[in-house]
Amino acid sequence: VDGEKQFVTSAVHADSYVISTAAPESAPGDPGRFSFVIVDRDRPGLVWGAPWTGMGMRGNESRSLRLEQVRIPRTNLLGELGDQIWYVFEVVAPYFLMAMSGTYLGLASAIVDITTSWLKQRTFAHSGESLADAPVLQHRLAEMWMSVESARQLVYHAARLGDAGDPGALAPLLASKAQIGDVVVQVANEAMTVCGGQAYQQNALLARFLRDARAAPIMSPTTDLLKIWTGRALLGRPLL
């Protein structure tokens, strides 16, 4: 295999990588030409780029990877040649989408919890008034909570249908990651306003959560693509 890939998560740290490849003899643009192969970390010909520094997700290491005539045994082929699309949508996507949705649902829930605690604990020294008494802040907190709880129900609904192998699971699975990706950015942004100056400190918890949340709409599959695919799934059209 020859090629180059940006953004390899867990670069250097993982024991093996699943790589999407095209057979050289196949026609360009043919979706059936891609296959997945497992590439072990110690294969000769893997050249790693420098660590990529993200805006957030500082616990993650992503790097670029160049493959220079890496020889891979046939036993490392996942499924059959040209099987990638089937593999992506039938094997990888349901679990991967749920894992991503669950991650960002957890983040969004934590943001609502922190905001609630802040509103309860913040009182003004001169008047003794609590932020929790301000109707506009009660309203903002309610909106944050409503968005997160609606998204939670979609994630759980998708998980239940996916577990049951329901043919109607596809649209909810795709939509749940798109929905929570939008919601987590929205509530992170809102919390930064509601929690005032202390949230805006360098490396304050909410500031870190905002940076992490911003990855949600762009981590693959991106929100734009997920919404297009959800529409196609609802219309009974092929996703690709």
Ligand X SMILES: Cc1cc2nc3c(=O)[nH]c(=O)nc-3n(C[C@H](O)[C@H](O)[C@H](O)COP(=O)(O)OP(=O)(O)OC[C@H]3O[C@@H](n4cnc5c(N)ncnc54)[C@H](O)[C@@H]3O)c2cc1C
Q: Which residues of this chain interact with ligand X, rule CB under 6 A? A: 7-9, 54, 57, 60, 62, 215, 218-220, 222, 224-225
C-beta of 32 vs 231, nearer to ligand X:
231
Min dist. Cβ of residue 237 to ligand X (A): 15
CB atoms within 10 A of CB 84: 23
| E strand intervals along the chain | 3-9, 16-22, 34-40, 46-48, 62-67, 77-78
Min dist. Cβ of residue 173 to ligand X (A): 17
C-beta of 36 vs 118, nearer to ligand X:
36
Min dist. Cβ of residue 222 to ligand X (A): 3
Q: Length of the chain, please?
A: 240
Residue with tokens 């497992």: 38
- Ramachandran angles phi, psi of 9, nearest 5°: -70, 145
- Ramachandran angles phi, psi of 191, nearest 5°: -60, -35
Min dist. Cβ of residue 136 to ligand X (A): 33
Closest-approach residue to ligand X (CB): 220
Is residue 72 within 8 Å of 81, Cβ to Cβ? no
What is the torsion angle, in degrees rounded to the nearest 10, for the CA atoms of residue 2, residue 54, residue 179 and residue 229? -20
C-beta of 131 vs 207, nearer to ligand X:
207
C-beta of 67 vs 137, nearer to ligand X:
67
